[in-house]
Protein backbone atom coordinates (compact mmCIF):
# COMPACT_ATOMS: atom_id res chain seq x y z
CA UNK A 1 0.00 0.00 0.00
CA UNK A 2 1.21 3.49 -0.82
CA UNK A 3 2.36 5.26 2.33
CA UNK A 4 1.13 8.65 1.06
CA UNK A 5 -1.23 10.37 3.48
CA UNK A 6 -4.83 9.34 2.82
CA UNK A 7 -7.15 12.30 2.11
CA UNK A 8 -10.13 10.02 1.39
CA UNK A 9 -12.89 11.42 -0.83
CA UNK A 10 -12.40 15.15 -1.33
CA UNK A 11 -15.25 17.54 -0.79
CA UNK A 12 -13.48 20.74 -1.69
CA UNK A 13 -10.82 21.81 -4.12
CA UNK A 14 -9.92 24.61 -1.70
CA UNK A 15 -8.43 22.35 0.97
CA UNK A 16 -5.26 24.14 2.19
CA UNK A 17 -3.28 20.88 1.98
CA UNK A 18 -3.33 21.07 -1.82
CA UNK A 19 -5.37 24.09 -3.00
CA UNK A 20 -2.39 26.12 -4.24
CA UNK A 21 -0.79 23.31 -6.22
CA UNK A 22 -0.56 23.94 -9.95
CA UNK A 23 -3.14 22.50 -12.32
CA UNK A 24 -2.14 23.00 -15.92
CA UNK A 25 0.50 25.58 -16.72
CA UNK A 26 -1.33 28.59 -15.22
CA UNK A 27 -4.13 27.24 -13.02
CA UNK A 28 -4.33 25.98 -9.45
CA UNK A 29 -6.43 23.26 -7.90
CA UNK A 30 -8.35 25.84 -5.85
CA UNK A 31 -9.36 27.86 -8.91
CA UNK A 32 -9.51 25.31 -11.71
CA UNK A 33 -9.13 21.81 -10.27
CA UNK A 34 -12.73 20.65 -9.91
CA UNK A 35 -12.34 18.21 -12.83
CA UNK A 36 -9.21 16.74 -11.27
CA UNK A 37 -11.04 16.40 -7.94
CA UNK A 38 -14.04 14.72 -9.63
CA UNK A 39 -11.81 12.23 -11.45
CA UNK A 40 -9.79 11.49 -8.33
CA UNK A 41 -12.97 10.96 -6.28
CA UNK A 42 -14.35 8.49 -8.85
CA UNK A 43 -11.13 6.47 -8.86
CA UNK A 44 -10.87 6.69 -5.07
CA UNK A 45 -14.43 5.42 -4.58
CA UNK A 46 -13.72 2.47 -6.88
CA UNK A 47 -10.37 1.68 -5.24
CA UNK A 48 -9.75 2.76 -1.63
CA UNK A 49 -6.00 2.28 -2.23
CA UNK A 50 -5.98 5.35 -4.52
CA UNK A 51 -4.10 8.25 -2.93
CA UNK A 52 -4.24 11.89 -3.92
CA UNK A 53 -0.52 12.69 -4.12
CA UNK A 54 0.36 10.05 -6.74
CA UNK A 55 -2.84 10.94 -8.59
CA UNK A 56 -1.84 14.60 -8.59
CA UNK A 57 1.69 13.72 -9.74
CA UNK A 58 0.17 12.02 -12.83
CA UNK A 59 -2.05 15.01 -13.66
CA UNK A 60 -0.24 15.59 -16.96
CA UNK A 61 -2.31 12.72 -18.37
CA UNK A 62 -5.46 14.86 -17.94
CA UNK A 63 -5.95 17.47 -20.66
CA UNK A 64 -6.90 20.99 -19.56
CA UNK A 65 -8.37 24.02 -21.33
CA UNK A 66 -6.21 27.10 -21.92
CA UNK A 67 -3.23 25.63 -20.01
CA UNK A 68 -5.33 25.01 -16.90
CA UNK A 69 -6.96 28.44 -16.64
CA UNK A 70 -10.29 26.95 -17.71
CA UNK A 71 -9.91 23.63 -15.92
CA UNK A 72 -10.37 20.13 -17.31
CA UNK A 73 -11.49 19.45 -20.88
CA UNK A 74 -14.83 17.66 -21.17
CA UNK A 75 -13.31 15.08 -23.52
CA UNK A 76 -10.65 14.27 -20.90
CA UNK A 77 -13.24 13.01 -18.42
CA UNK A 78 -14.40 10.05 -20.51
CA UNK A 79 -10.92 9.35 -21.90
CA UNK A 80 -9.24 9.24 -18.48
CA UNK A 81 -11.90 7.02 -16.90
CA UNK A 82 -12.16 4.60 -19.84
CA UNK A 83 -8.35 4.27 -19.88
CA UNK A 84 -8.64 2.95 -16.30
CA UNK A 85 -11.40 0.41 -17.13
CA UNK A 86 -14.45 2.43 -16.08
CA UNK A 87 -17.59 2.36 -18.22
CA UNK A 88 -18.80 5.87 -18.99
CA UNK A 89 -22.29 6.69 -20.32
CA UNK A 90 -23.85 9.95 -21.45
CA UNK A 91 -27.01 10.79 -19.50
CA UNK A 92 -29.65 13.01 -21.10
CA UNK A 93 -29.49 16.09 -18.89
CA UNK A 94 -33.11 16.93 -19.78
CA UNK A 95 -34.41 13.48 -18.74
CA UNK A 96 -32.10 12.19 -16.00
CA UNK A 97 -34.94 10.28 -14.36
CA UNK A 98 -34.86 7.85 -17.31
CA UNK A 99 -31.19 6.99 -16.65
CA UNK A 100 -30.32 3.65 -15.17
CA UNK A 101 -28.52 3.45 -11.86
CA UNK A 102 -24.74 3.88 -11.98
CA UNK A 103 -21.98 3.48 -9.42
CA UNK A 104 -21.25 7.19 -9.82
CA UNK A 105 -22.08 10.28 -11.85
CA UNK A 106 -20.16 13.37 -12.92
CA UNK A 107 -22.05 16.59 -13.60
CA UNK A 108 -20.60 19.61 -15.41
CA UNK A 109 -22.54 22.86 -15.11
CA UNK A 110 -21.99 26.50 -15.95
CA UNK A 111 -22.73 29.30 -13.53
CA UNK A 112 -22.43 33.06 -13.91
CA UNK A 113 -18.61 33.20 -13.79
CA UNK A 114 -17.39 29.75 -14.78
CA UNK A 115 -18.04 26.04 -14.91
CA UNK A 116 -17.80 23.33 -12.28
CA UNK A 117 -17.53 19.52 -12.10
CA UNK A 118 -19.20 17.57 -9.29
CA UNK A 119 -18.90 13.81 -8.72
CA UNK A 120 -21.61 11.82 -6.97
CA UNK A 121 -21.74 8.25 -5.70
CA UNK A 122 -24.73 5.92 -5.54
CA UNK A 123 -26.15 5.94 -2.03
CA UNK A 124 -28.11 2.67 -2.34
CA UNK A 125 -31.46 4.48 -2.17
CA UNK A 126 -31.68 5.64 -5.79
CA UNK A 127 -29.77 8.84 -5.13
CA UNK A 128 -26.21 10.09 -5.26
CA UNK A 129 -24.03 11.73 -2.64
CA UNK A 130 -22.39 14.68 -4.41
CA UNK A 131 -18.87 15.83 -3.54
CA UNK A 132 -17.23 19.24 -4.14
CA UNK A 133 -20.63 20.94 -4.40
CA UNK A 134 -21.07 22.47 -0.96
CA UNK A 135 -19.12 22.31 2.28
CA UNK A 136 -20.45 18.85 3.09
CA UNK A 137 -21.55 15.96 0.85
CA UNK A 138 -25.00 16.55 -0.60
CA UNK A 139 -27.30 13.51 -1.17
CA UNK A 140 -30.37 13.38 -3.40
CA UNK A 141 -31.66 11.78 -6.63
CA UNK A 142 -29.89 12.91 -9.81
CA UNK A 143 -32.98 14.58 -11.30
CA UNK A 144 -33.50 16.55 -8.06
CA UNK A 145 -29.83 17.63 -8.05
CA UNK A 146 -30.07 18.86 -11.65
CA UNK A 147 -33.32 20.66 -10.83
CA UNK A 148 -31.58 22.37 -7.89
CA UNK A 149 -28.79 23.52 -10.18
CA UNK A 150 -31.31 24.99 -12.65
CA UNK A 151 -33.25 26.71 -9.87
CA UNK A 152 -30.00 28.48 -8.93
CA UNK A 153 -29.65 29.72 -12.54
CA UNK A 154 -26.93 27.21 -13.45
CA UNK A 155 -26.86 25.56 -16.88
CA UNK A 156 -26.25 21.82 -16.86
CA UNK A 157 -23.82 21.10 -19.69
CA UNK A 158 -23.02 17.39 -19.42
CA UNK A 159 -23.88 14.43 -17.22
CA UNK A 160 -22.04 11.11 -17.26
CA UNK A 161 -22.96 7.85 -15.56
CA UNK A 162 -19.95 5.82 -14.45
CA UNK A 163 -19.71 2.14 -13.60
CA UNK A 164 -16.62 1.00 -11.73
CA UNK A 165 -14.28 -1.61 -13.24
CA UNK A 166 -14.89 -5.16 -12.04
CA UNK A 167 -12.87 -5.99 -8.93
CA UNK A 168 -10.01 -8.43 -9.45
CA UNK A 169 -10.55 -11.68 -7.62
Check residue 72 and give its pLDDT: 78
Instruction: Please check whether residue 62 is in contact with residue 72, taking contact to mean a CB–CB distance below 8 angstroms.
Output: yes
Band (pLDDT 50/70/90 cuts) for residue 64 is: low
Q: Which of 17-26, 86-95, 125-134 has the lowest mean pLDDT?
A: 17-26
Most confident of 11-15, 50-54, 78-82, 102-106: 102-106
Res 99 pLDDT > 60: yes
Residue 56 has pLDDT above 90, yes or no: no
For the residues 148-161, what does the mean pLDDT come to?
93
149 falls in which pLDDT band (50, 70, 90)? very high
Phi, psi of 15 (to 5 degrees): -60, 125
Per-residue model confidence (pLDDT) at position 157: 93
Sign of CA dihedral 101, 47, 139, 69: negative
What single-letter DSSP state applies at residue 46?
A: H
| Res 5: pLDDT | 65
Least confident of 6-15, 26-35, 70-79, 132-141: 70-79
Average pLDDT, the chain: 85
**Which residue ranges make up each domain of the chain?**
22-163
Q: Residue 134 burial (CB < 10 Å; 0-12/13-18/19+)?
A: exposed
Q: Is 164 helix (H, G, I), strand (E, B) or coil?
A: coil
Average pLDDT over residues 127-149: 88
Do residues 4 and 54 touch, judged by C-beta distance below 8 A? yes
Evaluate whether the domain defined by 22-163 bears CATH number 3.40.50.1000: no
pTM exceeds 0.75, yes or no: yes
pLDDT higher than threshold 50 for residue 68: no
- Most confident region among 31-35, 50-54, 131-135, 140-144 by mean pLDDT: 140-144
CA 1 to chain CA centroid, Å, is 24
Asked if residue 151 has pLDDT above 90, the reply is yes
CA-to-CA separations, 164 to 69, 88, 109, in angstroms, rounded: 29, 9, 23
Amino acid sequence: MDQTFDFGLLNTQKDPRFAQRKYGRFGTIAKNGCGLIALYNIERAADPETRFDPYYDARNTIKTNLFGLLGTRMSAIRKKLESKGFQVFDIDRRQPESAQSYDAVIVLYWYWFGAHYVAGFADGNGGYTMYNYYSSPYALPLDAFLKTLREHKNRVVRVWGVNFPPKAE
